[in-house]
Amino acid sequence: MIKKRVLFPLLMLFFLFSSTLWAIRNKIELPTQLKLEVEVLLNEGLVLHKNLVEDNLRQATKTMRRVLSQKKRVDKQLSKAKNTRPHLEKILNAIQVNMENALSEDAKNRDEYLKATFEQLVQILKVFKVTEYPVFFCSKNKTLWYQEDKRKPRTPVSHKLYKTCGHSIQI
């Protein structure tokens, strides 16, 4: 027979593990119109990824501006997300600050702001019920990003140096 001193901690560990697993599996649902606007924002992130990988800085700059304007459209829908508003609002504000800085900085600092922007976009994928994309991590430049292609990771930051860097991760 199992003693109470052993059983209680085992039960507590089980409940802690199961509640953590529940939180990981159950993403937050967004109101329909807000979800649509967030998904447009994520699609702009995919376009930005493509522009950066193809080294098309002119197009990337245009896409960064579109990300900012889409962020404003998402902001207009935020009032519909009562319980999730503060969390999504913080993510969106971080995206805005990083995009604005990326647009105004030189190439070296721009990479850091772009890296931070992609981390925030991945945070949206991780927390909210939206279209799922494969997420990758490059340990050489510590970049986290998402892209459409599941098989061939292509880091959007420092892609000339780290063409083959990146492995798929589960969020």
- The pLDDT, as a whole number, for residue 6 is 56
- The pLDDT, as a whole number, for residue 107 is 63
Residue 8 has pLDDT above 60, yes or no: no
- The pLDDT, as a whole number, for residue 2 is 54
- The pLDDT, as a whole number, for residue 5 is 59
Domain boundary assignment for the chain: 31-169
Long-range pairs of 139-147 with CB within 8 A, sequence gap ≥ 24: 139/165, 140/165, 141/115, 141/165, 142/115, 143/115, 143/118, 144/115, 144/118, 144/119, 144/169, 145/49, 145/118, 145/121, 146/42, 146/45, 146/46, 146/49, 146/118, 146/121, 146/122, 147/46, 147/49
pTM of the model: 0.82
Confidence of residue 20 (pLDDT cuts 50, 70, 90): very low
Q: State percent of the chain over pLDDT 70.
A: 84
Residue 62 has pLDDT above 90, yes or no: yes
Per-residue tokens: 44: 């702009």
Per-residue tokens: 87: 């969390």
Average pLDDT over residues 78-93: 89
Which CATH topology does 31-169 take?
Answer: Four Helix Bundle (Hemerythrin (Met), subunit A) (1.20.120)
Residue 22 has pLDDT above 80, yes or no: no
Residue 4 has pLDDT above 70, yes or no: no
